[in-house]
Structure 1
């Protein structure tokens, strides 16, 4: 029983590391894209399509969050505000984090393949964007816009999942999500302006 509780606690720590419970806040983006697709085609999605969209979104977000925590582990350890995060604090191992990332991205790719060929074709590009984002703060103050692109891809992806193409209404929605996310990430970065300046990281608060 004690071993079971220990394993359960470790799984909880993994999910806590990627803020898994916050996945619910990302659903409206994808569902808005799906709604636009329905309004444009006047054809309702099947339960299977909605289910795979949800799997794709949760898989993509979980993988991206885990990857970000792995890549930023050293930087997090140096920052007083973030040194208590799971990997720097030793609560989660890098191996477990990598397994979570691999499993999440595998689920994302399977879901994309189950939706349509265009989703599967574009899925690796989305993962590449997730890989790029954690490194952006090392060389550009436009890192906030890259994060916005990551989340702005959710409604566009849901549209593609249902229609198999890209049209301007969902591109505008994706752009709006990009700007909204970039805006709050700039405000979030204000907390680390002094530290980022000291260690040579880039953000708009540091630049301005």
Structure 2
């Protein structure tokens, strides 16, 4: 039993389960918008299961595909596959299991979710490979997380609608912006090993400017999403706070000072997702 709990802790650490706060609130936002309020327990639970499974699959595939680089990068040498605490064989079976549960959860939602489940898995796993050939990898990662509000919407209403497509664009630029920040830690490593990123390709000054541009676009798309969904003042109050948080994030870090990068990456960006979802919920509630 002790071995089981130890292995579970290792798996949760590998997939960084706490980072689910980035995508889950947007999936819930999509579901609430499509339902015009509470989507019901069946949709809520199946959507949660699907989101956790697809994210766990993507993280496991990332660790497998990036293993040879993680072994060389000082920042990633404590990762579980590098240390040998988890094996590639175990992680591969784990990825297969999460993929299967994801497909079954999608099947429990509706036919469109089932049809899109395998393409979604392939898309989520491909991010790690994009770093091999393009600095647009940050925007590709953004498109992966951007599927969250789309998934939430079609889980309730199996068709595509303007508000969720605008949320998709908002999440894409939001994620791309903070992933550019995150990649600033690995500029020299990426350059020396032929990996691509905005900081490695253009330098930190240009990278931070592009991250700022991306977050301006994100704020605009979040605003347009609220307008297209005819949301009220509570959502736009939450949006205003989110815009201020994104601005503050760019005051915390700079090309010359990355010391507060982790606070910017995790704490503030977790607040962004949660605040927008709270705005959606409160708008429907009141």
Q: TM-score, normalised by structure 1?
A: 0.93
Number of equivalences: 202
Q: 2:71 aligns with which of 52, 77, 86?
A: 77
Matched, 1:16 2:13: yes
Residues 141/25 of structure 1: CA separation in 2 closer, same or farther (3 Å cut)? closer
Moved segments of 4+, more than 4 Å: none
Alignment of 1:43-122 (within 5 A): 44-122=38-116
Shift of 1:23: 2.2
Shift of 1:157: 0.5
- CA deviations 1:155-175 (Å, max 9, x no partner) are 101101100000111000011
Please, which runs of 5 or more residues in structure 2 have no aligned partner? 203-286
Shift of 1:112: 0.5
Distance in 1 separating the partners of 2:162 and 2:149: 12
Distance in 1 separating the partners of 2:101 and 2:73: 32
Please, which runs of 5 or more residues in structure 1 have no aligned partner? none
Matched, 1:182 2:176: yes
Distance in 2 separating the partners of 1:84 and 1:119: 36
Give the CA RMSD over aligned residues: 1.2
- CA deviations 1:134-167 (Å, max 9, x no partner) are 1000001000011101100011011011000001
| Relative contact order higher in (CA < 8 Å, ≥ 6 apart) | 1
Distance in 1 separating the partners of 2:112 and 2:38: 19
Shift of 1:50: 1.0
Distance in 1 separating the partners of 2:38 and 2:195: 46
Shift of 1:12: 1.1
Shift of 1:46: 2.4
Q: TM-score, normalised by structure 2?
A: 0.68
Answer whether contact 2:32 2:39 (CA < 8 A) is retained.
no
Distance in 2 separating the partners of 1:116 and 1:190: 41
